[in-house]
Amino acid sequence: MSLTLYYHPLASFCHKVLIALYENGTEFERKIIDLADAGDRAELQQLWPIGKFPILCDHAQQRNLPESSIIIEYLDRLYPGTHKLIPDDWDSALEVRLWDRFFDHYVQVPLQQIVSDRLHATNGDLTRERSTLETAYGMLDRRMASRIWVASPAFSMADCAAAPALFYARTLVPFPVDYRHLSAYFERLVQKPSFQRVIDEARPWFSFYPFAEALEQRFREAPDNA
């Protein structure tokens, strides 16, 4: 098989790439990396010395691709499926890239700082991080008042970024009860079969998430028909 994904099933940036792969039914092999294991860390650093996942290895092209957005762009170009995640139209593609960056920088980054604070018991001042999430929620609620997907009429890379970012962020800073457009958007995301598959695969690992107690029961328990 040409593609191998180095990842962890609990990691939100890995979820973003998995959603893209599952959306188009792209065939790939998987290698779970445990950063607590010295051998796994060394293997990852051989591919990308920064030592962060996900990394996609394309054996046919002899290329190693780090960074979730770069991986999805690469897949969309070299391994396209029936559903393009980055539109051909330049203006539309720019909008997708903008909102992809929005979720990575203004949702993922503050949530990871909050999670890291609990993981390492540093008890830092997280006022700024929580405020950033609240600002992001307000922007999204206004934007989603007249939209189905965040950046284009069809599901895109930006929605791949949104799903895991919002999934974890809402365990730290819940959506305000009157943000019904944001809540409706989140429900559309979790109903996507590609994201449902990601959640199903992550479920055995959720107990290791530092805010596991804040996960809704529907995500912690396997469906009755599983």
DSSP strand pairing (3-7 vs 29-32): parallel
Full residue range of the structural domain in which residue 56 is found: 3-78
* Confidence band, pLDDT 50/70/90 cuts, at residue 139: very high
Last residue of a domain, one of 78, 102, 129: 78
**Section 95-112 average pLDDT:** 98
Tell me if 84 is assigned to some domain: no
Residue 222: predicted pLDDT? 74
Residue 221: predicted pLDDT? 79
Residue 223: predicted pLDDT? 66
Same domain? For 157 and 102 the reply is yes
Same domain? For 71 and 130 the reply is no
Last residue of a domain, one of 51, 78, 105: 78
Per-residue pLDDT reduced to its tens digit, 108-123 = 999 999 999 999 999 8
Look up residue 9 and give its two tokens: 């099933």
CA 96, CA 84: separation in Å to the nearest integer?
A: 12
CA 103, CA 158: separation in Å to the nearest integer?
A: 8
CA 190, CA 30: separation in Å to the nearest integer?
A: 23
Looking up residue 152, the CATH number of its domain turns out to be 1.20.1050.10
In 3-state terms the chain splits into helix, strand, coil percentages (rounded to 5) of 60, 10, 35
pLDDT at 1 over 90: no
Last residue of a domain, one of 33, 58, 78: 78
Torsion sign across C-alpha atoms 141, 146, 147, 153: negative
Q: What is the pTM of this model?
A: 0.95
- With the CA atoms of 47, 51, 95 and 114 taken in that order, what torsion angle do they form, in degrees rounded to the nearest 10? 160
Same domain? For 112 and 196 the reply is yes
